[in-house]
Structure 1
């Protein structure tokens, strides 16, 4: 995996998480700018999936293929599920849900890189 890109994805998700928590502390519901930032993070996650699949097609292999693919796809699912949950109940707590969803992304990205690195170390 490309380490710099993974760091960028994790950092973007962490920044959006901070934004969501600050908005929640101010008592704000999720607004369009926050949702747009979530869409940017999701686009980065889609790009990460594409890079991961291209590396697999090129012949590189992680230590555990099933776990690697599960984390790649799982990372894609977190934000849409969190967003659907948050939009179903628009309140200050829904903004916290988005922040927590964003905090899960750096963890998922780190695990993807750990699994990938285990097969190449």
Structure 2
């Protein structure tokens, strides 16, 4: 799952740069950005499925509840930020998307730490 997390983290970095540009230019997110966020969400669904398969097998003492919690947290943060951003059509709403996109790779790091602690 590390390769998938690296790819998704790279997408998050690109989206974060895009969002910073939008904030600086005081522009609203467009359909292309929302499509990119949707593709990121598809990748997070794939990560959830792979992660659940990994912990259903031999997981060697990984805290399953915490691991699944981080998987689900990474999955739900973007839709929550999207709803918030659509309701707040200012720079602040775009900033919420930026925070969500930055938090996703942090959650990946925590997943990696949990899996490595087994």
- CA drift of 1:88 comes to 0.6
TM-score calculated relative to the size of structure 2: 0.93
Using the TM superposition, give the Cα deviation of residue 95 of structure 1 relative to its aligned residue in structure 2, in angstroms.
Answer: 1.2
Query: Residue 80 of structure 1: CA displacement?
Result: 0.5
Number of paired residues?
118
TM-score (norm 1): 0.91
Tell whether the 8 Å contact from 2:67 to 2:111 is kept in structure 1 after alignment. yes
Q: Which has the higher contact order (CA 8 A, sep 6+)?
A: 1
Counterpart for residue 50 of structure 2: 51
Matched, 1:4 2:38: no
The 4+ residue runs of structure 1 with deviation greater than 3 A are none
Taking a change above 3 Å as real, the CA distance of residues 15 and 62 of structure 1, as seen in their structure-2 partners, is farther
Cα distance, 1:62–1:7 mapped onto 2, change above 3 Å: farther
Query: Which has the higher mean CA deviation after the structures are superposed, 11-20 or 77-86?
Result: 11-20
What value does the CA root-mean-square deviation take over the aligned residues?
Answer: 1.2
Could you list the runs of 5+ residues in structure 2 that have no partner in the other structure?
Answer: none
